[in-house]
Structure 1
Amino acid sequence: MGGFPVLHTSDYSIETAYKVVYDIYSSVILRDTVQRYKIRDVKLLERIVKYAFDNIGNTFSGKNVADYFKSQQRKIDLNTVYNYLNALEGAFILYRASRYDIKGKEILKTQEKFYLSDGGLLYATMGYRDRMISGILENIVFLELKRRGYTVFVGKFLDKEIDFIAEKKGQKIYVQVAYKLESEQTIEREFSSLLAIQDQFPKYVVTLDDFWKEDVEGVQHVHLSDFLLQSF
């Protein structure tokens, strides 16, 4: 149901909870975003919101959004896309995670990720979709890292992708998030990205595996619930 406090003050059904969240979403869109940023095309804003929600956990840029709308026979200016995404950040509906090149030690200006301020927003507006489980798990980990005071980036190291690089007071942790490690290919993909980074900062692969919890060469494999509760 998400973390909006009102949902946990009473024994709401799922349907009622989603209605409450949808009403919150609607009022935030209308009041905090449309009015504050003087947005004229509310329907376009809502379509951009749904595009972002549908791509939680995927890297994309303003150009991706513009190209998508072009494929839908709707031309949209690139600056408008960025202005609307900035407005959604300003209303705390979305958080942006910039992409960081570990080898080049620079923040990249493209292929960032956006995450929801509350997972309940996705379910209330678009319903539950099994195919989005990996993105939702990333979203949970992202919010936990933010809650603990980390500055969070998505990472690039050579040709490999790292879900999260989290920094705080000169310390770092690296995190890969996956639903389950169900094949050798998945294990290789998730662990190899972290094993390629030659420093001494903690590295985690976070999944929902109940039985397989083996660490690999110092990279810790932990269940999501354990990761959320442990100190680091």
Structure 2
Amino acid sequence: MILNRDLYLERLYKHKDKDLVKIITGIRRCGKSTLLFDLYHKRLLEDGIPADHIIKVAIDNIKNADLKEPAALYKYLAQQMQGKGRCYIFLDEIQLVENFEDVVNGIKRDFDCDVYITGSNSKFLSTDINTRFRGRGIELKMFPLSFSEYYSYCQGDKRKAFNDYMMYGGMPYLLQEPEPMQKAEYLRTIAETVVIDDIVERYGIRNKEVLQALLSLLCSSIGAYVSSRKITDTLRSNGHATVDHKTVGSYIENLCDSFLFYRADRYDIKGKAYLKTLYKYYAVDIGLRNAFLNFRQIEPTHTIENIVYTELLHRGYIVDIGRNEQKEIDFIARNMKDTYYIQVSYTLIDEKTREREVSSFRKLDDGYKKIVITMDDDPFTDLGNGYKKMNMLDFLLDEYALEKA
């Protein structure tokens, strides 16, 4: 079953034939290979590109094991392109090739080609794309299915679909598994074999038990401030007596580099500066988060906060936590055009809760929209003082919901 990922397909297609290395990044099994090898391949064929001018190499396939050696990969690609004119090169899981940038820069220099690569490790790509590709690389960040994508396939009652999404998340394969037990088992398998084992191997982690304990703590701390020292103290009190904060900090970095978690920094709105202590971490997929906790601790408030955060990333926003004097704003979402202050609350029915949520917006007079996203069934509401209330499903199912507020 091949799922259409139109948003990512169009983002990728608009860079076709530009002199840039197109770099698709994201967690394992989120759909990068399908996007490139199936959906984009089909689009190129529809454009009239000859099939033999599209060269696809899955580096993680055992039959291509010898191509992990840079010289061998270059030689293979050169042979495939010889005498053909412009070719389109797809290299999947390129991080498995040592010094892969030399191969990519070499074939771009020596042949007429448009190069696309995927990777599931941010450090080898994101931190120095311009250096590796001499200023000619662009990254496309890919995520598991958003709720809008998920709902376009399952249809039916929106609230029921969202309840399922809150439990199992949006890993694409789940749409082929109708039974809850099968969904849960698949996510547990992904969590253990694909995520944990992959991270242990990739980073040479010596203590898998500490990594698993750390994962559980991060998954339990969605929406809470986290520091490596605080986590270290908790791990020590739970029996990991020899762990130190440097190791914990390194492991957290590894988890983020593998796109399993994203770090939200704190931004002082009045001081116009980032704060250097305490962060929040959000899981790339709420279903994987739940699987790491064996489907316990499913708190709706923290779950919807995580889903809003990843949805904002999916839409291309830079997302921080806001500090307004002594008050906290859940998210500041920014892109090239707009900035939004966003609070996430399960309900505003209770007057005390409503006052707590909107009080964070007070004394902000910069003209940016201030929105509270809730699970309340009532439609879009003006709360007064320029504050708006928006239903969670309306937000998730309309990519322009914030602009319309």
Asked if TM exceeds 0.5, the reply is yes
Q: In the alignment, what sits opposite 2:376? A: 209
Q: In the alignment, what sits opposite 1:109? A: 276
Distance in 2 (CA, whole Å) between partners of 1:119 and 1:95 is 12
1:210 match: secondary structure: coil
- After TM superposition, the structure 1 = structure 2 runs for residues 136-175 of structure 1, keeping only pairs within 5 Å, are 136-175=303-342
Larger Cα-atom Rg: 2
- 1:105-134 CA-partner distances (Å, limit 9, x unpaired): 11112221101111111222321435x211
The 10-residue stretch of structure 1 (23-32 or 86-95) with the greater mean CA deviation from structure 2: 23-32
TM-score (ref. length: structure 1): 0.93
Q: Is 1:228–2:373 an aligned residue pair?
A: no
Q: Is the 8 A contact 1:58 1:135 kept in 2?
A: no
Indicate the structure whose relative CO is greater, using CA pairs within 8 Å and at least 6 residues apart. 1
1:206 match: secondary structure: strand
1:199 deviates by 1.3
Distance in 2 (CA, whole Å) between partners of 1:73 and 1:19 is 28
1:194 match: secondary structure: coil
1:137 deviates by 0.6
Q: Is 1:33–2:199 an aligned residue pair?
A: yes
Q: In the alignment, what sits opposite 1:190? A: 357
- 1:131-172 CA-partner distances (Å, limit 9, x unpaired): x21111111100110011111101111000000001111521
1:11 deviates by 4.1
Distance in 2 (CA, whole Å) between partners of 1:5 and 1:98 is 29
Q: Is the 8 A contact 2:334 2:340 kept in 1?
A: yes
Distance in 2 (CA, whole Å) between partners of 1:166 and 1:79 is 31
The 10-residue stretch of structure 1 (120-129 or 95-104) with the greater mean CA deviation from structure 2: 120-129
Q: Is the 8 A contact 1:100 1:156 kept in 2?
A: yes
Q: Is the 8 A contact 2:210 2:240 kept in 1?
A: no
Q: In the alignment, what sits opposite 2:292? A: 125
Q: In the alignment, what sits opposite 2:302? A: 135
How has the CA–CA distance of structure 1 residues 11 and 48 changed in structure 2, closer, same or farther, with 3 Å as cutoff? closer
1:183 deviates by 2.1
Q: Is 1:16–2:187 an aligned residue pair?
A: no
Q: Is the 8 A contact 2:327 2:360 kept in 1?
A: yes
Q: Which amino acid is the alignment partner of residue 325 of structure 2?
A: L
Q: Which amino acid is the alignment partner of residue 179 of structure 1?
A: Y
1:63 to 225, 229, 253: 229
1:166 match: secondary structure: strand
The 10-residue stretch of structure 1 (162-171 or 207-216) with the greater mean CA deviation from structure 2: 207-216
Q: Is the 8 A contact 1:28 1:91 kept in 2?
A: no
1:37 deviates by 1.0
Q: In the alignment, what sits opposite 2:248? A: 81
1:100 deviates by 0.9
Distance in 2 (CA, whole Å) between partners of 1:141 and 1:25 is 22
- 1:53-73 CA-partner distances (Å, limit 9, x unpaired): 001111111122012123334
Q: Is the 8 A contact 1:205 1:220 kept in 2?
A: yes
- 1:80-104 CA-partner distances (Å, limit 9, x unpaired): 1110000001111111111111111
| RMSD over equivalenced CA pairs, Å | 1.6
Distance in 2 (CA, whole Å) between partners of 1:223 and 1:180 is 10
Percent identity of paired positions between Structure 1 and Structure 2: 37
1:45 deviates by 0.2
Q: Which runs of 5+ in 1 are unaligned?
A: none
Distance in 1 (CA, whole Å) between partners of 2:345 and 2:278 is 20
Q: Is the 8 A contact 2:213 2:235 kept in 1?
A: no
Distance in 2 (CA, whole Å) between partners of 1:226 and 1:172 is 19
Q: Which runs of 5+ in 2 are unaligned?
A: 1-167
1:54 to 208, 212, 220: 220
Q: Is the 8 A contact 2:318 2:333 kept in 1?
A: yes
